[in-house]
Chains A and B, each alone.
Chain A
């Protein structure tokens, strides 16, 4: 540690991807019996790429604004540049109010989106509880059936084997009923919620403008 000064310590919040990393990205193999990449992984990676590109675009926009400010500053050299003290440059109240209204609209829409997500996840959770209960019931039934089938199969019967047979049937059914359904639902929701809370970037807005869309 020793003589650290923190004033000039400002590291980036994240490590930017390099084109090389994108090219060399290794995806882990999907589960047995499924060929191809893990979709979830590919998708989340693509999201990150997109996020990072958006971040780059934003940074460029900020730099352009900075260049603009510097140009103006040079233009105004010799003119009376307001010092950043406590003197009060006037701001148009109309402008303040327009900005306030825009902010309020944004706040409202974000709150609405979050609320929507909350209800959606809440419903999913209920659905999940129901599915589980149903799966437990179905599994119980399957276990009973398995024992019956075993008893009528004419094999020499032992209590342990019966118990085992019943457990296997229970577990198999339970797993089948729950797994696929729940995972799909929850991950879909997680992705939706993930999209909230990030600013729509200028570039994305531009992309939806028919004039700038490239065929």
Chain B
């Protein structure tokens, strides 16, 4: 297999931009109409994902140790889309037809053979990884919604009970899908530490015009089933070997994964002081403050401080949550979660105030419609 030839030809093809995945999917659907149903109505986001995944794989084609884990991860993740080994040849057909179409005269039998071999290898790695994973975990978990509470006009807290044990760490998230919005997956953080009864909590805010979040807040009801992908992410997880005190800074529904950390300290220890600063624009948006206050009265090591930025009538702490939180910083590990904007501004403030980079853990709140696999 000539790695350089693969790279060169891919770069040539990639120049045609969106045309390439567009042609690829149309070819796939024409050759194998049964595959159309595995994708959402709008393919715009899907096309971007395909090109970036292919690009990453092709550019690592000669560095097997880098490429293989990536491809294995891809294969495992595809189980949740109900992709089976039988689908791979169809994709191979469409891929070769697409390359041939865009390369024209440069498409030689030798190059065709290289691509064919490369694709078969990738497919094999993906299928093997999926098979290996199927020995230990389901393709997706199913969670029956047992609680759905709209706490503000656009925030709901959802509790679901999963059908099989689900090993995750507080601070992680997973992708979710459900029948009202078939084939659309969105990431949400767990708002709790693992529980014996296998239930999980999600905090969902309606994103303006967002089809998935709107359906989750206003559409689904108790008894509906959520599909849940494998847990991902470690940017907001605690290092058990580093029992430092914590300073948690949340914006809006970004409090979900941080609340999970509080529960982890409560359930597993080791006990440490936790300062939890909960930011919101108005007091009405402090949707979970009741539950947090309850935790505060229960645990002497926890203090919860709500901070409101846009509400002149609010009687508690007012201003930017980062500023208020900084007054309490005494060298703790800092965790930040909220909207992209809030996280950016907060991290900047922390760094300016002299908090060392390695003590700042942050991630954007996973309630955005844009957060896709």
Which A residues form the contact surface with B (CB < 8 A)?
A: 1, 4-7, 9-11, 13-15, 44, 51, 62, 65, 84-86, 88-89, 91, 93, 95-97, 99-100, 103-104, 106-107, 110-111, 114-122, 125, 128, 136, 182, 186-187, 190-191, 193-194, 196-199
Contacts and interface: CB of A to CB of B under 8 A. Distances in A.
Interface in B187-222: 206, 208-212, 214-215, 217-219, 221
B168 interface: no
A86 B116 contact: yes
B82 A10 contact: yes
B179 A14 contact: yes
Given A91-B30, A110-B42, A111-B42, A125 B208 contact: yes
Given A107-B44, A120-B209, A197-B181, 7 more contacts: A10-B82, A15-B225, A51-B180, A96-B23, A110-B41, A110-B44, A190-B219
B41 A13 contact: no
Interface string B25-49: 1110111010001001111100000
14 contacts: A44-B219, A65-B33, A86-B120, A91-B97, A96-B27, A99-B30, A114-B209, A116-B209, A118-B208, A119-B208, A193-B211, A194-B218, A197-B215, A198-B181
Nearest to A97: B26
B182 A117 contact: no
A13 B42 contact: no
B101 interface: yes
Interface of B: 22-23, 25-27, 29-31, 33, 37, 40-44, 82, 86, 89-90, 92-93, 96-97, 100-101, 116, 119-120, 134, 137-139, 142, 153-154, 164-165, 178-182, 184, 206, 208-212, 214-215, 217-219, 221, 223-225, 227, 313
Contacts of A106: 41-43
A179 B137 CA distance: 47
